[in-house]
Amino acid sequence: MLSSSKSAVLGIGLGLAVAMYACGGGNKEAAAPAGNDQAAAPAQSQAPAAASAPAGNGPTGSATVSGTVTYDGQVPNLKAVSMAADPACASKHNGDVPNDVLVLGDSNHLGNVFVYVKDGPVTNASYTPPTTPAVIEQSGCMYTPHVIGVQVGQQLEFKNDDGLLHNVHALPQVNQEFNIAMPAERKTADHAFDQPEGMFRVKCDVHPWMNAYVGVLKHPFFAVTGNDGAFTIKNLPAGTYTIEAWQEKLGTQDQQVTVTDNGTATVSFTFKRPA
């Protein structure tokens, strides 16, 4: 992590709810997160997750869309995540626990932004989902990664690295809500979504500071920014596309771009803190 990295979270209310071995779905919740009033996350070191080469009968090509996402505004100085409610979680960390609701790197580059093709020649096509699952780890009583995309029909695997009780409570609006108990001895759980859907929250009722966000697409043309704010979407056929960037507290932005065969188009997004 770069020494000059900065991070912070936008404050939101935190509700405590404990579900022990909850296996049934509850009431639907809005896609917008209730979140937690916790705090500051250091910039993450992993590279942005770029979409892999698509499979199936949808159109592919040689064009690329890349760019950066930045944050413009005063960075709030908020509290770190408190795990005092579960000493077993707190014992897995030395000092304050960062929260990745708002992750900023050098020059206020913005991480954890989901960038994808919203409209264009690929959005109505069908693509065979990858056989390799996407993975969210429950490690240190946090979800990693915090933001992820999957294709319709692709397995999303949840791993429990903590040896503690967790539960995976997904709150989609289009797909079916589910709640999977993950006691200490259960190491993995899998789920696949059968409908495309915009970003929705996954939470742990046992540890209410644990939140992740999932987007389900018919196509593989998406990426998640790392701490450098960068994203790359490859293998696009030539054409005109609407590219959308989503951040859980700062909303969405769209830009239109035209790419040619073997060409690269650059798109930049700047998010500002709401008034």
Question: In which element (H, E) is residue 169 found?
Answer: strand 166-170
Question: CA-CA distance, 53 to 55, in Å (whole number)?
Answer: 7
DSSP state of 107: G
Q: pLDDT band at residue 13, thresholds of 50, 70 and 90?
A: very low
DSSP state of 8: -
Q: What percent of the chain has a predicted confidence (pLDDT) above 90?
A: 69
Question: CA-CA distance, 9 to 203, in Å (whole number)?
Answer: 17
What is the mean predicted confidence (pLDDT) over 139-168? Answer: 96
Which of 42-51, 97-106, 191-200, 205-214 shows the lowest mean pLDDT across its residues? Answer: 42-51
Q: pLDDT band at residue 80, thresholds of 50, 70 and 90?
A: confident
Looking up residue 92, the CATH number of its domain turns out to be 2.60.40.420
pLDDT digits (tens, 9 = 90+) for 230-257: 999 999 999 999 999 999 999 999 999 9
Q: Report whether 227 contacts 45 (CB < 8 A).
A: yes
Choose the most confident range, by mean pLDDT, from 21-30, 98-107, 157-166: 157-166
What per-residue confidence (pLDDT) applies to 45? 36
108 domain-assigned: yes
Question: CA-CA distance, 247 to 234, in Å (whole number)?
Answer: 21
Distant-in-sequence, close-in-space partners of 201: CB < 8 Å, separation ≥ 6: 29, 31, 33, 170, 171, 211, 212, 213
Distant-in-sequence, close-in-space partners of 32: CB < 8 Å, separation ≥ 6: none
83 domain-assigned: yes
pLDDT at 12 over 80: no
Which of 52-61, 83-92, 135-144 shows the lowest mean pLDDT across its residues? Answer: 52-61
Largest CA distance in the chain: 55
Question: Which among 41, 62, 12 has a CA at the least distance from the CA of 201?
Answer: 12
Give, in order, the Cα–Cα distances in Å from 208 to each of 82, 93, 112, 136, 204.
10, 17, 19, 16, 6
269 domain-assigned: no
Give the phi and the psi of residue 66 in degrees, each rounded to 5.
-140, 165
268 domain-assigned: no
The answer, as to whether pTM is greater than 0.75, is yes
pLDDT at 44 over 50: no
What per-residue confidence (pLDDT) applies to 101? 82
Q: Tell me the two tokens of residue 128.
A: 């065979």
pLDDT at 67 over 50: yes
Chain centroid, CA 82 distance in Å: 21
274 domain-assigned: no
Which residues span the domain enclosing 32? 7-261
Question: CA-CA distance, 53 to 39, in Å (whole number)?
Answer: 36
Q: Count up the domains in the chain and report the number.
A: 1
266 domain-assigned: no
Average pLDDT, the chain: 83
The letter for the amino acid at 164 is L
Question: CA-CA distance, 266 to 229, in Å (whole number)?
Answer: 13
1 domain-assigned: no
pLDDT digits (tens, 9 = 90+) for 168-200: 999 999 999 999 999 999 999 999 999 999 999
271 domain-assigned: no
For residue 188, the SS3 value is strand
Q: pLDDT band at residue 78, thresholds of 50, 70 and 90?
A: low
